Amino acid sequence: MNKKLLNLYGLKFNPFAQNVPAAALLATPPIDHFCWRIEQQIGEGGFALTTGDPGSGKSAALRILAERLGAVRDLSVGLLTRPQANLADFYRELGHLFGVPLSPHNRWNSSKVLREKWLAHIDASVHRPVLLIDEAQEMNDSVFSELRLLSSADLDSRSILTLILAGDQRLLSRLEELELLPIASRIRSRLRLETHSPKQLQDCLTHLLKAAGNPKLLTPSLLTTLCEHAAGNLRLLMNLANDLLVFRCAEITEVGGRLLHGGQGGAGKGSVRSSMRKRGLVVVFAWRPRCLRGKRFSTGVQLSYGDVMQTIYPTSLTPEQYAEQEYHRQVRPPENCPNCRRAHALEALAYYHRYITAATALVLLIWVRRFLCRHCRVSVSCLPAFAQPYRPVNTPTIAAGFQGQRTPEVARWSELIQGYWRRFESHLPTLLRQVGNAFGPVPLQPSAQSFWKQLLQHCGDMANATGQLIHQFHTCWFGSYRCHQRRPLQAA
Ligand SMILES: [Zn+2]
């Protein structure tokens, strides 16, 4: 978002971006209390823990804490950015953070130098230096135990470092393991971040907007709508709001049936549009093809609840019917987890939103159901078959365009559809390698045209073919994406 647009909205910074200044983040009472506890704890050191599901605000809490601790005189605070590193890299980063040159391969010497540095710090400032570790569930066991040994002195009777670990459910499970019990038993302060209520989300959002310089950027009703649809997830809320801001810059006229700014947007009485508006969950955009070009349309992967896998399920509904019937609420989980293949392992998680073109000359916002596998912890999103992964134009329209039909919808989106064809052509060699002869023999000099026909003949229609490509071959028409690959299974 550029300076000019920010000025246009009277904003000092984009309040929905990830990098908002820490001072703009709302310290809720639990976070405030946790910070206070840590301010006390730095006198004695030891471990502290903050946990919560992805999007619950752990990183924000850490940033608030770092900001507070930064204000303590002579306190040195380090943030470990590569928790997944091996021991040698871990030492390299520690050396960098605390300003001591270390030779990672002489661990004995490195730990000695570091500890001397920390002891000198304690002598000078009476505080224990602080090390913050986000995504600590990614840390190796060896790094964990090295940290524990590094941070204690005098036969384990005192701590010379304050360690703040932040992570999701996996961190909690790991701390229950035998190897990490020595750490778990040393945790002195805890902050558990829960799902937010719409009211709490609203408080965070209001605070951010105020800090960004325009408390009235969103109308009260829009604010409420957003908070009610964010499934208690702070990150989801920010992504929703950010999308709106971006699209607003591209002239949104209405949101959730309530006016964001300006006029009516031309929605006809009694139309699908107005009935959807009443439901207050569909964003209706004035049709503006130029503003839609080149945008990423699915925020699903960016929202990422850790690992996401995408599946496609057959449906005869059109995008309008899907939105109008609120069909996302009725979507059943797949029988088997697409990742670990366990049966009946999926439980409801949340929804995410994406955009899809619709016959009524609109782009609709639809909600997509997401489930979580109890066994492998991968979240599974279920995309209706009229949608393509990461492409806003609906599947029947793309298919009609590829077939050379000249329907009004094809004409409306022709530029995008041509772009899709080019993507398909460039993805073809990879695609062919992946599917082999599964859809019939491949000619010596395969062309996009011939493969398109072949797939259609074999599968019936494009939606069906998409499902087969994704589920059997972990690819799709326009590329191979991470969300279609199976994940290595972690030990349960
Ligand atoms: Zn699974």
| Same structural domain, 188 and 203 | no
Q: 336 alpha carbon to ligand 1 midpoint, in Å?
A: 8
Tens digits of residue pLDDT in 183-215:
888 899 999 998 888 899 999 999 999 999 888
Nearest to 381 by CA among 342, 343, 346: 346
Does the residue 337 lie in any domain? yes
| Same structural domain, 341 and 465 | yes
Q: Which of 159, 176, 193 is the last residue of a domain?
A: 193
| Same structural domain, 352 and 455 | yes
| Same structural domain, 202 and 184 | no
Work out the number of other CB atoms within 10 angstroms of the CB of residue 286.
17
Q: 332 alpha carbon to ligand 1 midpoint, in Å?
A: 16
Does the residue 10 lie in any domain? no
Q: 471 alpha carbon to ligand 1 midpoint, in Å?
A: 15
Q: 308 alpha carbon to ligand 1 midpoint, in Å?
A: 11
Q: 344 alpha carbon to ligand 1 midpoint, in Å?
A: 9
Are 62 and 167 in contact by the 8 Å Cβ rule? The answer is: no
Does the residue 25 lie in any domain? no
Q: 444 alpha carbon to ligand 1 midpoint, in Å?
A: 39
Q: 347 alpha carbon to ligand 1 midpoint, in Å?
A: 10
* Residues around ligand 1, an ion, CB closer than 5 A: 337, 339-340, 373, 375-376
Q: 346 alpha carbon to ligand 1 midpoint, in Å?
A: 7
Q: 341 alpha carbon to ligand 1 midpoint, in Å?
A: 6
Give the residue ranges of DSSP H helices in 262-406.
272-279, 289-292, 300-303, 319-324, 395-402
Q: 378 alpha carbon to ligand 1 midpoint, in Å?
A: 6
467, two tokens:
């499902």
What does the alpha-carbon distance between residue 46 and residue 128 come to, in Å, rounded to a whole number?
9
Q: 170 alpha carbon to ligand 1 midpoint, in Å?
A: 15
228, two tokens:
């009610």
Q: 432 alpha carbon to ligand 1 midpoint, in Å?
A: 28
Please provide residue 381's backbone torsions phi and psi, each rounded to the nearest 5 degrees: -100, 145
Q: 133 alpha carbon to ligand 1 midpoint, in Å?
A: 28
Does the residue 30 lie in any domain? no
Q: Which of 227, 260, 288 is the last residue of a domain?
A: 288
Are 163 and 131 in contact by the 8 Å Cβ rule? The answer is: yes
Q: Which of 171, 193, 215 is the last residue of a domain?
A: 193
Number of domains in the chain: 3
Q: 457 alpha carbon to ligand 1 midpoint, in Å?
A: 33
Tens digits of residue pLDDT in 116-158:
888 888 888 888 899 999 999 999 888 988 888 888 887 777 8
Q: 232 alpha carbon to ligand 1 midpoint, in Å?
A: 24
Q: 352 alpha carbon to ligand 1 midpoint, in Å?
A: 19
Q: 377 alpha carbon to ligand 1 midpoint, in Å?
A: 6
Q: 373 alpha carbon to ligand 1 midpoint, in Å?
A: 5
Give the residue ranges of DSSP H helices in 55-190.
58-70, 87-97, 107-125, 141-151, 169-175, 181-184
What's the pLDDT at 467?
A: 95
Beta strands 46-52 and 187-193, pairing class: parallel
| Same structural domain, 241 and 380 | no
Does the residue 473 lie in any domain? yes
Does the residue 492 lie in any domain? no
Q: 486 alpha carbon to ligand 1 midpoint, in Å?
A: 10
| Same structural domain, 394 and 416 | yes
**What 3-state class would DSSP assign to 298?**
strand
| Same structural domain, 319 and 463 | yes
Beta strands 130-133 and 162-167, pairing class: parallel
Q: 476 alpha carbon to ligand 1 midpoint, in Å?
A: 21
Q: 245 alpha carbon to ligand 1 midpoint, in Å?
A: 35
Q: 22 alpha carbon to ligand 1 midpoint, in Å?
A: 36
Q: 440 alpha carbon to ligand 1 midpoint, in Å?
A: 32
| Same structural domain, 345 and 221 | no
Are 176 and 51 in contact by the 8 Å Cβ rule? The answer is: no
Please provide residue 391's backbone torsions phi and psi, each rounded to the nearest 5 degrees: -130, 130
Q: 375 alpha carbon to ligand 1 midpoint, in Å?
A: 5
CA distances, 365 to each of 27, 244, 258, 342, 354 (Å)? 32, 11, 15, 32, 6
Q: 51 alpha carbon to ligand 1 midpoint, in Å?
A: 22
CB environment 207-243: b (16+ within 10 A), e (fewer): bbbebbeeeebbeeebbbbbbebbbbbbbbbbbbbbb
451, two tokens:
């493969």
Q: 309 alpha carbon to ligand 1 midpoint, in Å?
A: 10
Q: 330 alpha carbon to ligand 1 midpoint, in Å?
A: 21
pTM of the predicted model, to two decimals? 0.54
Q: 198 alpha carbon to ligand 1 midpoint, in Å?
A: 30
Q: 69 alpha carbon to ligand 1 midpoint, in Å?
A: 40
74 by Cβ neighbours in 10 Å (0-12 / 13-18 / 19+) ranks as exposed
| Same structural domain, 248 and 156 | no
Please provide residue 322's backbone torsions phi and psi, each rounded to the nearest 5 degrees: -60, -45
Low-confidence ranges of the chain (pLDDT < 50): 249-306, 361, 491-492
| Same structural domain, 278 and 307 | no
What does the alpha-carbon distance between residue 238 and residue 218 come to, in Å, rounded to a whole number?
13
Cα dihedral 250→253→257→263 (10° resolution): 170
Q: What is the DSSP string of 353-387?
A: EEEEEETTTEEEEEEEEEEEETTT--EEEEEETTS
| Same structural domain, 153 and 204 | no
Does the residue 7 lie in any domain? no
What's the pLDDT at 195?
A: 83
Nearest to 391 by CA among 309, 481, 257: 481
Q: 473 alpha carbon to ligand 1 midpoint, in Å?
A: 18
Does the residue 106 lie in any domain? yes
What's the pLDDT at 159?
A: 87
Structural domain boundaries enclosing 79: 42-193
| Same structural domain, 88 and 147 | yes
